[in-house]
Structure 1
Amino acid sequence: MPVRRAAAQLLRFAWLELQSCAFAAALFAGLALAQVVPLPIARFDALLAWCVLVTLGFWVAGLETWREVLVIAGFHGLGLGLELFKVHQGSWSYPVGDAVTVVAGVPLFSGFMYAAVGSYICQAWRRFDLRVSHYPAPATTVVAVGVYANFFTHHWWVDLRVPLAVAGLLVLRRCWVHFTVGDARYRMPLALSFVLIGTFLWVAENAATFLGAWQYPGQEDVWEAVHADKLGAWALLVTMSFVLVATVKSQEGRLYHVPGPVPVQSPAGQPVG
């Protein structure tokens, strides 16, 4: 039955997504436990140690290759640089307490929240057998660099978030991401996947601020939901994240889609392959 088939595929998709979020799940588990379990060291120091152990554990268990670990380390470095600047600007703050692994009010653990995004993309690439078609790597890289720069420059110059989003849509207008669920191959516009992941990250951000990972100016006294305008920022951040992972996948020969001999249906009913 088509309905039963669709339901089974949806469950398979959800299960693969959950597995791909393993690093993020471990990070949130650490945040939650650190809220209720007495610790011998400061909370953010314990979280840093926990994330390092999770990263090493993923590598030892073969869940991530050494190249992917290097990409995730790159995410950590880029994220930490952004955190140092944003906290200095007063965009948000960390309740660091007496933690010692802190630089300029930013716990070193914070970079792992960006690393979790990189880990998700790496895991999803493997579990869904992701490939892209019509992917303009140079142009997308230029947009990604612009996105990262704008996170800094908009504080003293014009905010180019909307023009960068439009540029990203134009650059990726013909690009599709192909993925496998069960025995079927599907595809969707790559730009749409960035929006969907960005939405998920916004939900995760709400959970993280609720658990006290960091605080926006309006959340110091009473927690409140993160404004929906952060959705766009997260979707743009995913663009930058994807470019870094795609660079590694290109070196591994696992970036571009090769049409198969038998066309299958996309979620929208369009033939693929």
Structure 2
Amino acid sequence: MADGVMAAAHAAVSCRGVGKTWAAGTTRAHEALRGISLDVAPGEFVSLLGPSGCGKSTLLYLVAGLEQPTEGRIDAHGAPVSGPGPERSLIFQEASLLPWLSVWQNVTFGLTLRGASVAERTTVAREVLARAGLSEAFDKRPDELSGGMRQRVAVARAMAMRPKVLLMDEPFAALDVQTRAKMQGFLLDVWHATGASVLFVTHHIDEAIALSDRIAVFTARPGRIKATIAVDMPRPRDLEGQQAIALRRQLTALLQDEVDRAFAEQEALSGAG
């Protein structure tokens, strides 16, 4: 679905002219995002692809309500985003589990803050951990789990809140190639089962192709949307097929100038220091 066609009230997430300047009005001010307009439909999987430092993660924080935009407006299901809400769950690159709690207690930590009973929390924990293939880890501590298992617990913790929008900031970046591929399959299973919308930040072209309905390609800082590419391929996707190869070439060409610009800017900043 093309940006701007869908009415904001019907979008899971709607960004209109969104900009963000960190430390605005100070000598340390820098513009992270400029003029971002993007709609995410209910149940849609959209990836944000771009060079380091282009503001992809910043946009997630704005949609999550952890930060406010300097310009523009963000709505979620027709309501302005003015702060965090349980309908929007953010998953970071690191699992960020509480080491002194068991797996099921970590998964239901948000429900604990809501005042849910132990019976309700254990029921929800068993349900989401079964979906994540982690029933046997119910009473384990995070340090007893592998990296992939900890990240699955983090996804299960987000799903325990039954969000309508799942915001993911390079959640598989620290995993090895094999575990990363398995986690991508797990994420697609969760997405299909829940019907949540997903906004997914990645640096990896193949990961974006494997997962997304659409890919928003970002420019170097200040981040703007250079192009939005639909991925019209059945899942699971053959990344060695001709369609994927053509898409990979298209995305590589779109990103090349932006990566070069971002690298040149970082070199300039290093030289100035």
Q: Which has the higher strand share?
A: 2
User: Structure 2 length as normaliser, TM-score?
Assistant: 0.30
| Structure with greater contact order relative to length (CA < 8 Å, sep ≥ 6) | 2
* TM-score scaled by length of structure 1: 0.30
